[in-house]
Amino acid sequence: MEQGRDEFFMARCLQLARLGAGHVAPNPMVGAVLVCEGRIIGEGYHRHYGQGHAEVNCIASVRTEDRHLIPRSTIYVSLEPCAHHGKTPPCADLIVAEGIPECVIGCIDIFAKVAGKGIARLEAAGVRVKTGVLEAECKALNSRFFTFHGLQRPYVVLKWAQSSNGFIAAEGGRPVRISHPVTDRLVHKWRSEEAAILVGAKTAQGDNPRLNNRLWSGRQPLRIIIDLNDKVPASHQVYDKSQPTVFVTTKAKPDQDHILVDGVQSLLPQLLQELHARSVQSVLVEGGAYTLQHFINDGLWDEARVITGANPLPTGVVAPTLHGAVLEDTLLLETDRLFFYRHG
């Protein structure tokens, strides 16, 4: 089907919104364009957390000689304009104050202080509002934000590397490098993109991992270690204070940031509830098999990324088994095959 005019301009909003990736979380990425008689006269996106919203930057970008066109223009925004006084004044009020007669919206904001209220303000002031243009794409762009507010838990990405015959470690849990160094760079990019990284006690104990982002630019994730019985030695790297780290435990740890749980019964729902309370919007779960399988069996995951290396292992720790997974994409990276699943 030929792309319509609204879809064309909304696609541009999405392109702009993506430029905020890595800088706006836990806010959503948002893009806006202002169009007069088919010509874009202003463009903007949310660049940095706490700074101007897409609509503000879009309107501010209009050249002096085009400003008289604003009251004859349509503003396109990938997310419903806000209606609340947050770190900036409401964008719905700005649209009204600028005399913009029409607003085309990608998707409704799920955030309770906005949800539907931005549209109501616009309509009450006589602005014509159209919603749902490229809605699925606009929601998918901010899947972490929508999961966090909609399901009241972080967005969960599972990730592991397995040998060509399905083992994630060698016999007795001896750690092995499975993925290609080029894939490792991509994995570190993934680490930079999520708010937190999580492993189980046996991985923290046996691998002595750093769980940081050192092969890509950008931020470091919060490290989360499930170590209910305090088995990981304090000499291990997860204790090195090089980045924020929280231990999930049944006994208080006075010198460490920790999350207290009351045992293994419903451990993951308890943990995710606490992470939501701490505003952790997403978690990359790197393993091991036991930990990953618990997330899978509890249905508490959104994406899984499985790296299959070129070589087999004679035996070892068996990779987790996914249930309800929909294969979305595959990628050949050097000698690795990458499989991208979403939870169906």
Of 16-24, 53-61, 161-169, 334-342: span binding ligand NDP (CB under 6 A): 161-169
Of 56-64, 101-109, 183-191, 290-298: span binding ligand NDP (CB under 6 A): 290-298
**Angle, CA of 325, 330 and 334, to the nearest 5°:** 140
Among 29, 91, 161, 272, binds Zn ion (CB under 5 A): 91
Q: Which residues are catalytic?
A: 55
268 binds, among ligand NDP, ligand AOF, Zn ion, none (CB under 5 to 8 A by kind): ligand NDP
Name which of 36 and 228 has its Cβ closer to ligand NDP: 228
Q: Among residue numbers 297 through 326, which ones bind ligand AOF (CB under 6 A)?
A: 307
| Site for ligand NDP contains 291 (CB under 6 A) | yes
328, 183 Cβ separation under 8 angstroms: no
CA–CA separation, 177 vs 250, rounded Å? 32
Q: Which long-range contacts (CB under 8 A, 24 or more apart) does 136-142 make?
A: 137/10, 137/11, 137/14, 137/106, 138/10, 138/13, 138/14, 138/78, 138/79, 138/106, 138/107, 139/107, 141/14, 141/17, 141/18, 141/28, 141/29, 141/78, 142/28, 142/29, 142/79
Name which of 151 and 170 has its Cβ closer to ligand NDP: 170
| Site for ligand NDP contains 308 (CB under 6 A) | no
CA distances in angstroms from 174 to 311, 320, 327, listed in the order given: 16, 17, 30
210 binds, among ligand AOF, ligand NDP, Zn ion, none (CB under 5 to 8 A by kind): ligand AOF
Residues 125-164 as x/- pattern, contact with ligand AOF by CB under 6 A? ------------------------------------x---
Among 14, 34, 79, 82, binds Zn ion (CB under 5 A): 82
CA–CA separation, 30 vs 58, rounded Å? 11
